[in-house]
Amino acid sequence: MTYDELAASLREELKPSGDQENEMFHQFLEAAWRLRVWNEEEYQLSEKAGGDALLSEVPAIQKKAARIQRLRTRTESAFYRSLNRLKKLQAERARRQEAGKKSAARLAGLETPPHIM
């Protein structure tokens, strides 16, 4: 899957709206893409090591595997932080929209019926 395909798929699923939601979506997308990259790099490194790269007897492979693991941990944190923030923003937007609908309905109920005028 390409970056653009991932972006389109996630955008369709999460449907961000407004500047704040789009910013959080962008941060989430970047983290999601980086996680894919780190997973691919780790897989290739494990293939090269013939097993778990962290347990490799080659110091350079161990060092790179440890680096990838640190980067993945940081990226996972950014992934979940941005996803949770996006979902919170979307929930707040939904509450505001619902409150607006209820206010409009209440105001409509307060209008003087035409037959009373």
Instruction: For residue 12, tell me if it sits in a domain.
Output: yes
User: In the structure, what pLDDT confidence band is assigned to residue 56 with cuts at 50, 70 and 90?
Assistant: confident
Total domains, the chain = 1
Report the mean per-residue pLDDT for the chain: 91
Average pLDDT over residues 19-31: 97
More confident site: 29 or 55:
29
Instruction: For residue 91, tell me if it sits in a domain.
Output: yes
Percent above pLDDT 90 for the chain: 72
pLDDT of residue 35: 96
Instruction: For residue 116, tell me if it sits in a domain.
Output: no
- From the number of C-beta atoms within 10 Å of its C-beta (0-12, 13-18, 19+), residue 81 rates as middle
Instruction: For residue 9, tell me if it sits in a domain.
Output: yes
Instruction: For residue 49, tell me if it sits in a domain.
Output: yes
Instruction: For residue 66, tell me if it sits in a domain.
Output: yes
Instruction: For residue 117, tell me if it sits in a domain.
Output: no
Q: Is the dihedral of CA 88, 92, 97, 101 positive or negative?
A: positive
Instruction: For residue 115, tell me if it sits in a domain.
Output: no
User: In the structure, what pLDDT confidence band is assigned to residue 77 with cuts at 50, 70 and 90?
Assistant: very high
Domain holding 69, by residue range, is: 3-109
